[in-house]
Structure 1
Amino acid sequence: MPGMTRQGGQVWAHVGQAFRETAYDVVVVGAGRMGGACALFLRQLAPDVRLLLVERGGLPNEEGATILAPGVWTALDVPAGREREAAWVRRALAHDFGNVTFGPRPLLDLHAEEGEGRLPSADLLAQFPEAAGLFDPAALPFARVDLEAATYRPGAVALACGQRAVRAGADLLLNTHAHLTPGGVRLDRLTVTNTHQIVTHETHELRAGLVVVAMGADGPHAAEHELGLHTAHGRAYRQLPRLNTPSTDHTPTLRAGGLILRPQHGGFTLVPPIHHRDPHGYRPTGGRLTGVPVGVRRETLEDLLRLMAALPPLATEALEVGHSLADVPGAWLALPEGRADTPPCHQHLTEGVHLLLGGPLADPLGLAVAYDLAARVAGVGERPWA
């Protein structure tokens, strides 16, 4: 059978389904939230465009940065001039994806020094009693509050976008590694042997009028090494340790020293700041705590140690540091322009190739940037947030 028909588009999930297509108008490589959203918006804006969405894993990819993204929407992270885009993203997340839980959750941005818009953090504990014990008001006496902040699961957004794109007529090819080639892509359809090795089952050459590279941290590398195009973008390996201090639906999200404590699954997911970039070829390794090897890499461990006095739970057994790198969830994260404070972007690399990157600020702005690229490809001048 050529694929499974789901209303509009075809879905090829495994190599047992023969793939005989040879050309598409648009191929989107990467079905994370950026690529999936771009595919969905393009199908909505230009329904006559034949579009293929390609993903190396399943939908959503359980190893990608989308699954491990913080999922924290906050206006405090939005650069000046991008407020309308961020507000549109918030509305879209809250109302346009039925199976995405978008839950309002205030964010307390804690600081050691007084500054514009910062309130005494001790006074805020009366308003947010569930934050008591999570931080030391003497060490972090000031805070900004975003009462409009919210949390959601980016992986659910990627899944919703992929499913809706297929219903809107996009084709979806899973378990396939795409290589960029002049005028299209080369597709390696992957399968698993009886010894659990992932191998290439078959290869296809596919022509495409336009290729959108939405491969996350692998996108700039692919453009440089497969097409010979230089980009200024970087990547970093981000780990998200678990903090097993109890949290509830009423516990606010905390941020101190760039470290986010995101209430999740009855505890906290720790999202460390990104203040470095890792070159290709670098292999992250775990660090050492009191001479004992742990799974948290050295850079992340230093951030946690620096904040232990201000955030007392970090100095308890509630912090999971693991025994090896595999014990702590982590993924490569794209850094637009090589910096953590640069918003998501899309870039025209060469004729027929666009690069689409999310990065650390994809939570509040990613969907708007994906829409903007789709609108440009479709030739639509207006944006919904204008």
Structure 2
Amino acid sequence: MPPTPTPGHVWAHVGQPFTPPTPRPDGTHYDFIVIGAGRMGSLLTLALTRAAPQAHLLLIEQGGLPNEEGHTILAPGVWTTAHLPPDQHPAAHASRTLIEELAQPTHRHHVTLHTHAAPGSLPTTDALAAHPDSLALLDPDVLTHATTDPHALAYRPGTLALNAAQTAIRAGAHLMLNTRAAPHPGGVVTAERLTVTNTHQIVTHETHTLRARHVILATGADAPTHAEQHLGIHTRHARAYRQTPHLNAPSTPTSPTLHVAGLTLTPQHGAYTLHPATHHRDPHGYTPTGGHLTGVPTGLRRETLEDLVGLMDALPILATPALHLGRSLSDIPGSWIALPHGHPHHPPTHEPLDNHTTLLLGGPHADTLGPHTAQALAHQLAQHLAET
């Protein structure tokens, strides 16, 4: 029977003193440093503890666990193969295994609505006959047909990240929260431990220089910028800002997730959260700000508004007060989402940036494919570690 691993240490705030471990003969403090404790970084850390159980690991997060400012918290949390090509189905099912282990998912049908007959589709009234509340959201004379994935799952990506990180810590990985980290050439990482003054200003309390055999940059939509700023490496990846308006229409624990023209309606807390389509990367330097559009509350992205207006015939509920657009930017939750290779339809990916640094990105398909991508990278890194 293998020995029970010693749990890793957690540094949650600057009141917990941190002293870097004694450098090894090659000058490194850790085998792996993972920057970013969102869904992808936490899953990778767990996968590394399993693929390389003797490795010395450190996971660093700028905020709390899971990252409350990244896309992990606001991702739809829907596992489905409905919109994936067949060659990606094995990766999706491998991801499902980890989701079932870590996120306590629930079975929730995923229904894609169409304006015409599609392969395997049923009349919408038949497909949603058991869900009159869902049927009431749409016009079946416009969305005449529907295809259903009865094997879909719904889960909370934040729960997945939290449980993955906690499981990794129990297996020996270390975690440092409230720390801003930046990669540098040669596997060097500067870690700035942050604290808050009595006027709520975030300041650097102490800075440490750490070195690892390999650094994984898993900071989501910020990762391409970090690669360029700190490593001088330009990538093809991009980011977009996606807002998630609220639809105050009744849903039940068995209501299906609805998908129409890129818009996903996710049943949550007895109502719906809307996840609009992501069409393209944001312009360089784009920052979402509130503004005034004629007859439109401030703070909503024009692209999101145009999408919702374009769907009002198909989903009449969008033209009623049930749609909450808010009156300021802060009323509409939003997050930066990574676009691997600059495209919203590209699956999660990883790629080496230099001999000591790898970039790991989730993106719009992280719900279904992210765990497998993290696991595949972990096996690759563990093999490389064993050979060196």
Instruction: Give the TM-score normalised by structure 1.
Output: 0.93
User: Which segment is superposed worse, 79-88 or 194-203?
Assistant: 79-88
The aligned residue for residue 384 of structure 1 is none
Determine what percentage of the aligned residue pairs are the same residue.
55
Tell me how far 1:309 sits from its aligned partner.
1.6
Give the distance between the partners of 1:39 and 1:91, measured in 2 at CA: 17
Q: Give the letter for the 1:92 counterpart.
A: L
- The partner residue of 1:63 within 59, 69, 89 is 69
Q: Give the letter for the 1:152 counterpart.
A: Y
The aligned residue for residue 122 of structure 2 is 119
Tell me how far 1:275 sits from its aligned partner.
0.3
Q: For residue 210 of structure 1, give the secondary structure of its aligned residue in structure 2.
A: strand
Unpaired runs of 5+ residues, structure 2, are 22-28
Q: Give the letter for the 2:120 counterpart.
A: G
Give the distance between the partners of 2:196 and 2:180, measured in 1 at CA: 14
Q: For residue 295 of structure 1, give the secondary structure of its aligned residue in structure 2.
A: coil
Give the distance between the partners of 2:83 and 2:181, measured in 1 at CA: 33
The aligned residue for residue 156 of structure 2 is 153
2:313 pairs with 1:309: yes
Q: For residue 77 of structure 1, give the secondary structure of its aligned residue in structure 2.
A: coil
Q: Give the letter for the 2:8 counterpart.
A: G
1:169-180 residue pairs with structure 2 within 5 A? 169-180=172-183
The aligned residue for residue 3 of structure 1 is none
Give the distance between the partners of 2:325 and 2:358, measured in 1 at CA: 39
Q: Give the letter for the 2:178 counterpart.
A: N
The aligned residue for residue 301 of structure 2 is 297
- The partner residue of 2:106 within 100, 103, 106 is 103
C-alpha contact 2:127 2:147 (8 A) present in aligned 1: no
Give the distance between the partners of 2:42 and 2:98, measured in 1 at CA: 15
1:234-249 residue pairs with structure 2 within 5 A? 234-249=238-253
Give the distance between the partners of 2:293 and 2:106, measured in 1 at CA: 36
2:48 pairs with 1:42: yes
1:1-386 residue pairs with structure 2 within 5 A? 7-21=6-20, 23-94=29-100, 96-97=101-102, 100-183=103-186, 184-286=188-290, 288=292, 290-379=294-383
Q: For residue 186 of structure 1, give the secondary structure of its aligned residue in structure 2.
A: strand
Unpaired runs of 5+ residues, structure 1, are 1-5, 381-386
Tell me how far 1:335 sits from its aligned partner.
0.2
Tell me how far 1:52 sits from its aligned partner.
0.2
Q: Give the letter for the 1:83 counterpart.
A: H
Q: For residue 369 of structure 1, give the secondary structure of its aligned residue in structure 2.
A: helix
Q: For residue 120 of structure 2, give the secondary structure of its aligned residue in structure 1.
A: coil
Q: Give the letter for the 1:160 counterpart.
A: N
Q: Give the letter for the 1:123 counterpart.
A: D
Deviations 1:20-53 (A, max 9, x none): 1152111000011100010011011111110000
Give the distance between the partners of 1:201 and 1:78, measured in 2 at CA: 46
Instruction: Give the TM-score normalised by structure 2.
Output: 0.93
Q: Over the residues paired in the alignment, what is the CA RMSD in angstroms? A: 1.5
Give the distance between the partners of 2:225 and 2:312, measured in 1 at CA: 36
Give the distance between the partners of 2:284 and 2:376, measured in 1 at CA: 29
C-alpha contact 2:36 2:61 (8 A) present in aligned 1: yes
C-alpha contact 1:345 1:369 (8 A) present in aligned 2: yes
Q: Give the letter for the 2:136 counterpart.
A: G
Q: For residue 279 of structure 2, give the secondary structure of its aligned residue in structure 1.
A: coil
Tell me how far 1:230 sits from its aligned partner.
1.6
Q: For residue 299 of structure 2, give the secondary structure of its aligned residue in structure 1.
A: strand
C-alpha contact 1:27 1:211 (8 A) present in aligned 2: yes
Q: For residue 137 of structure 2, give the secondary structure of its aligned residue in structure 1.
A: coil
Q: Give the letter for the 1:80 counterpart.
A: P
Deviations 1:2-22 (A, max 9, x none): xxxx95101000111111115
Give the distance between the partners of 2:144 and 2:165, measured in 1 at CA: 44
Q: Cα distance 1:69–1:239, how it changes in 2: closer, same or farther (>3 A)?
A: same
C-alpha contact 2:6 2:172 (8 A) present in aligned 1: yes
Q: For residue 91 of structure 2, give the secondary structure of its aligned residue in structure 1.
A: helix
Q: Give the letter for the 2:313 counterpart.
A: A
C-alpha contact 2:344 2:363 (8 A) present in aligned 1: yes
Tell me how far 1:114 sits from its aligned partner.
2.5
Q: For residue 215 of structure 2, give the secondary structure of its aligned residue in structure 1.
A: strand
C-alpha contact 1:297 1:325 (8 A) present in aligned 2: no
Give the distance between the partners of 1:320 and 1:159, measured in 2 at CA: 29
Give the distance between the partners of 1:365 and 1:354, measured in 2 at CA: 18
C-alpha contact 1:234 1:279 (8 A) present in aligned 2: no
C-alpha contact 2:340 2:363 (8 A) present in aligned 1: yes
Tell me how far 1:292 sits from its aligned partner.
3.9
The aligned residue for residue 383 of structure 1 is none
